[in-house]
């Protein structure tokens, strides 16, 4: 979101109507008027438009993806296809995506780190998800046959070793991306992009209720995005006048 506007393209009436809608819907809380006032209305409008297309019905779990380029590319694909949350189990390397490669998607996608693959899968299953691993096996179903009516986690493994046996044992099933060439595998970033395009496109048409984010999640995410979008000078003012809110949203006190 490389915004550099100094004058809003929205009329005063449009700005007033948008603010009223945000407050009436609960997407913006009264206590966050100060935060809202520090941003261009056009920018907040864009955030609202993106939020309306976001989902946690489909999410991703990566296991031991070490290459920061791949970490970044998966984040970028998640953002591009409207997936709000990425779940991560670190491998030999820390999860440190390259913001340039990710095109700042790391600012807009929630990342949840789990201590182990078993904990991650158990946590996601308890939250109502089916967990499907990418793996070549006799039981694997083609990507287009994945049942997207259910909340679904797509599990991707390490660049060199794939999904671990521990993860495969706990997953609900496997899927594969059908290929017609000699090569029978894809880089994780490519596989994630293809998979997300397919499942999100189908899920939008299949899931009529519950595909979008919950109201409370939208409110939290909008505020988080607004904080992250503040120019440095405005961020300093916000920290002085709304330090408690700032610490709650960012985990930082300065």
- Report d(CA 156, CA 162) in Å as an integer: 7
The verdict on whether residue 177 carries a ligand-binding annotation is yes
The verdict on whether residue 59 carries a ligand-binding annotation is no
- Report d(CA 245, CA 184) in Å as an integer: 50
Q: Are 155 and 132 a contacting pair, CB within 8 Å?
A: yes
Q: Which string of b and e fits 144-181 if b means at least 16 CB within 10 Å? A: eebebeebbbbbbbbbeebbbeebbebbebbbbbeeee
Reduced to 3 states (helix: H, G, I; strand: E, B; else coil), residue 146 is coil
The verdict on whether residue 55 carries a ligand-binding annotation is no
Surface-to-core class of residue 87, CB atoms within 10 Å of its CB (0-12 exposed, 13-18 middle, 19+ buried): buried
- Report d(CA 182, CA 250) in Å as an integer: 47
Write out the two tokens for 150.
């259910």
Q: Binding site for S-adenosyl-L-methionine: what residues are annotated?
A: 134, 177, 186
Q: Binding site: what residues are annotated?
A: 134, 177, 186
């Amino acid at each position: 979101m490389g915004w550099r506007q100094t004058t809003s393209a929205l009329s005063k009436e449009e700005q007033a109507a948008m603010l009223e809608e945000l407050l009436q819907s609960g997407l913006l809380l009264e206590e966050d008027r100060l935060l809202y006032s520090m941003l261009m209305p056009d920018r907040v409008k864009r955030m609202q438009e993106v939020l309306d297309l976001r989902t946690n019905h489909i999410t991703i779990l990566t296991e031991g993806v070490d290459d920061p380029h791949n970490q970044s590319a998966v984040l970028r694909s998640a953002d591009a296809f409207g997936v709000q949350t990425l779940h991560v189990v670190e491998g030999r390397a820390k999860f440190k995506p390259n913001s340039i490669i990710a095109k700042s998607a790391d600012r807009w996608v929630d990342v949840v780190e789990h201590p182990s693959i078993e904990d991650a899968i158990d946590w996601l299953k308890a939250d109502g998800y089916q967990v499907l691993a990418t793996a070549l096996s006799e039981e694997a179903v083609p990507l287009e046959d994945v049942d997207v009516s259910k909340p679904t986690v797509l599990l991707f493994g390490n660049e060199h070793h794939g999904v671990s046996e521990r993860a495969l044992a706990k997953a609900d099933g496997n899927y594969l991306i059908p290929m017609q060439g000699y090569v029978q595998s894809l880089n994780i970033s490519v596989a994630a992009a293809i998979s997300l395009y397919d499942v999100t496109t189908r899920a939008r048409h299949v899931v009529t209720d519950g595909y979008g984010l919950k109201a409370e999640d939208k409110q939290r995410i909008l505020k988080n995005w607004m904080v992250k979008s503040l120019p440095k000078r405005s961020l300093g003012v916000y920290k002085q006048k709304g330090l408690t809110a700032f610490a709650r949203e960012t985990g930082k006190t300065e």
